[in-house]
Amino acid sequence: AQSVTQLGSHVSVSEGALVLLRCNYSSSVPPYLFWYVQYPNQGLQLLLKYTTGATLVKGINGFEAEFKKSETSFHLTKPSAHMSDAAEYFCAVSTDTGRRALTFGSGTRLQVQP
């Protein structure tokens, strides 16, 4: 079975500062990794995903994440935070064995201060 740990349930940054949201996963087989964003009263929207190939993945809205197998990590970054980035972010994992649904982390709420 796979699992995801997101370090920090709340992260606060200043507008223009670096955003770093941490995600570590556990999987006995090669994982597929995803970051989703949830704005208030909305569903989840995919930011980016890693399946195979290049370990640095670029997503929408200037976000990117790097798959590091040796560290079992998939941290999400953005060089410069915007007020519109304030939302909840979920890291998720799935694999091609067993059930193929997403297993989510507990989420990180990002606050952006003016």
Partner 1 sequence: DSGVTQTPKHLITATGQRVTLRCSPRSGDLSVYWYQQSLDQGLQFLIQYYNGEERAKGNILERFSAQQFPDLHSELNLSSLELGDSALYFCASSGRGTGANNEQFFGPGTRLTVL
Binding stretches for partner 1 (CB under 8 A): 32, 34, 36, 42-46, 49, 51-52, 90, 94-96, 98-107
Q: Which is nearer to partner 1, 86 or 102 (CB)?
A: 102
Q: Which is nearer to partner 1, 9 or 12 (CB)?
A: 9
The count of other CB atoms within 10 Å of the CB of residue 103 is 18
Task: Classify residue 105 by burial, with Cβ atoms within 10 Å: 0-12, 13-18, 19+.
Answer: buried
Q: How far is the CB of 73 from partner 1 (least distance, A)?
A: 19
Q: Which is nearer to partner 1, 79 or 98 (CB)?
A: 98
HSE value, Cβ hemisphere, 13 Å, CA-based, for 13:
23
DSSP β-bridge partners for residue 75:
66
Q: Which is nearer to partner 1, 18 or 60 (CB)?
A: 60
HSE value, Cβ hemisphere, 13 Å, CA-based, for 29:
10
Q: How far is the CB of 14 from partner 1 (least distance, A)?
A: 28
Q: How far is the CB of 6 from partner 1 (least distance, A)?
A: 10
The count of other CB atoms within 10 Å of the CB of residue 99 is 10
Q: How far is the CB of 46 from partner 1 (least distance, A)?
A: 5
